Chains A and B, each alone.
Chain A
Amino acid sequence: MTEQGSRASDIRVDLLEIARLIEPRATVLDVGCGDGSLLDYLVRQKQVDGRGIELSSEGVNQSIAKGLSVIQGNAEEDITFFPDDCFDYVILSQTLQAMRRPDKILEQLLRVGRKAIVSFPNFGHWKVRLSLGLRGTMPVNNTLEHPWYSTPNIHFCTIRDFVNLCGQQNIHLEQSMAINAKGYRMPFHNLFLANFMATQGMYVITRK
């Protein structure tokens, strides 16, 4: 359907960054796929064989209506029912921080997928440090929009924390990307700079 094809190019800039990483006709699982925008884009533009898991009813309904194969469920539980190595890519976009056990989910991503693409809000960003360091309050901004008491984000981490965790879990960082507030890639490859300047970290990870 051409109308949906053109609409699909309107997806968020940071999702486009993820889409660029995925090869045509790959098998893809989007964990926490929201309204299915990214999956829909991948199915139409890259002919991927896509699946999704989403918790919210609205997201699931919109995804199914787009023709996507999405199941309603809890990512950490439902991912365990997929067999080993059944996807080329598993995407966890802006969802890691909402997991009960981010370390366990990384393990699962790389059990079911050959590669995982993980993006998360960076708690090491200078504005966050400023809010915490000078104002002494938990940050609330565009990427961290919920106040501390009602946020679904229960496990914030910095880019450095993520890199450390991957090191501990024997996970290979295939690509590291620093993303700015507008969703574009920043030219930082230095970990200190990325951790200070990026609002989002985005990584392609594989098993070592």
Chain B
Amino acid sequence: MIMLFFMTKDTIEKIDADGYAEVVTLGQNRPLLLDSGEQIASFDMAYKSWGKLNSDKSNVVLICHALTGDQYVRGLNPITGKQGWWENMVGPGKPVDTDAYYVICINVLGSCAGTTGPASVNAITGKTYGIDFPVITIGDMVRAQAMLLDHLKIEKLFSIIGGSMGGMQALQWAVDYPDRAKTVIPIAATWRHSAQNIAFHEVGRQAIMADPNWAGGRYLDHDQRPQSGLAVARMAAHITYMSEAGLTNRFGRALQDRDKLAFGFDADFQIESYLRHQGLSFVDRFDANSYLYITRAMDYYDLGAGHDGVLAEAFRGTKTRFCILSFTSDWLYPTSESRHIARALNAVGARVSFADIDMSKGHDSFLLDCPEMFNIVRGFLRSEADAAGIVT
């Protein structure tokens, strides 16, 4: 892929020749310090943006993507060839209205859609990171995003919005950069990974590492991929993104391309076929080591840590406005977790709204057509924009 390079004082900007995403190289003069104590001296951050930045830069909305998401919120995703993952939420006239706001989405550190991660080449050694990539946290991801925004000379964010891991980042932003986040909208998120959350991730990681093609994490050096392991990881995870009612309504016990049981281990049931498809299509677009690193970052997430587990203390003194949304059928990050966040915010006098949205389709509801979620996000942003007198 041909890149154009621009040297600046401490960064290099590469504009992807295909025009799909912008990439900025950061950290060369000021390395990114990680929670682990390690640092990354040179790393790329890939992002995309929509809408127009207003004169006082007060209309910036940061969208944070989920575990396997990317910066392609809208428009054609060059990796999958599909439309963006949040077309129904972000765009002209949509709840996050690109006619009013300047919307930016950054591929997270450790991922594999242009931002530096384990599949990238280490600029210092000239070799692929693989398993030598440092273990990162959600806090590190947010710090890297802040560095990119510094580079873009964007100080304040009108809103930070994300679902699932995106919501976890939004909350982390509010905790780590309270003066930069005017509003945050964490959707289907949590404030710390539970034992059950960690358990499911561990199953996924073990599936990847049990694949002989993983080769101790050095598979790229051998030009191979642990595809079976990654597919199983994705299949297991995908179940946690859906609800039992959702699965029953969509698949039930319906058979796949047959009218009776085959008495074998082929995909007799539609749900099996569906999961296999989910697994297989995932391995083409996602790096297995990225999956290990990002799930690890999520497992390490605990906003109450450092405050004796008292979440409210993490938010004390906050001026940020919160709109916490959960879904009734989400059992991965259940309503009780979001309610806990809302109560913690109330305990410190923060301005918080919380709604538990009635959806039957589980955790992934935030990606689906959900008029109630759209109305709330639209109304919350509009009322706050009006109150702040944001000129667009």
Interface residues of A (CB under 8 A from B): 1, 51, 57, 60-61, 63-73, 78, 81-83, 86
Q: How far is the CA of A51 from the CA of B279 in the complex (A)?
A: 45
* Additional 8 contacts, C-beta under 8 A, given A57-B356, A71-B342, A71-B343: A57-B355, A57-B358, A64-B380, A67-B380, A71-B346, A71-B353, A78-B343, A78-B346
Q: Are B386 and A67 in contact (CB under 8 A)?
A: yes
0 or 1 for each of B314-354: is its CB under 8 Å from A? (1 = yes): 00000001010000000000000001001110110101111
Known: A61-B372, A71-B342, A78-B343. A66 touches B353 (CB 8 A): no
Q: Are B372 and A64 in contact (CB under 8 A)?
A: no
Q: How far is the CA of A112 from the CA of B365 in the complex (A)?
A: 36
Give which listed residue, B342, B346, B353, B358, contacts A68 with CB less than 8 A: B353
Please give me the residue from chain A that is nearest to B351 by CB atom.
A69
Q: How many A-B contacts if CB must be within 8 Å?
A: 68
| Interface of A (DSSP majority class) | mixed
Known: A1-B386, A57-B356, A57-B358. A65 touches B379 (CB 8 A): yes
Tell me which residues across on chain A come within 8 A of B372, comparing CB atoms. Answer: 57, 61
Q: How far is the CA of A63 from the CA of B323 in the complex (A)?
A: 12
Tell me if B383 is interfacial: C-beta within 8 Å of chain A.
yes
Interface residues of B (CB under 8 A from A): 321, 323, 339, 342-344, 346-347, 349, 351-358, 372, 375-376, 378-380, 382-384, 386-387
Q: Which 7 A-B pairs have the closest CB atoms?
A: A67-B383, A65-B379, A81-B343, A71-B354, A69-B351, A64-B353, A60-B355
Q: Are B376 and A71 in contact (CB under 8 A)?
A: no
Known: A78-B343, A81-B343. A66 touches B355 (CB 8 A): no
Q: Are A61 and B375 in contact (CB under 8 A)?
A: yes
Q: Are B383 and A51 in contact (CB under 8 A)?
A: no
Tell me which residues across on chain A come within 8 A of B357, comparing CB atoms. Answer: 57
Tell me which residues across on chain A come within 8 A of B351, comparing CB atoms. Answer: 51, 69
Tell me which residues across on chain A come within 8 A of B343, comparing CB atoms. Answer: 71, 78, 81
Known: A57-B355, A81-B343. A69 touches B379 (CB 8 A): no
Q: How far is the CA of A157 from the CA of B355 in the complex (A)?
A: 31
Tell me which residues across on chain B come within 8 A of A83, comparing CB atoms. Answer: 347, 349
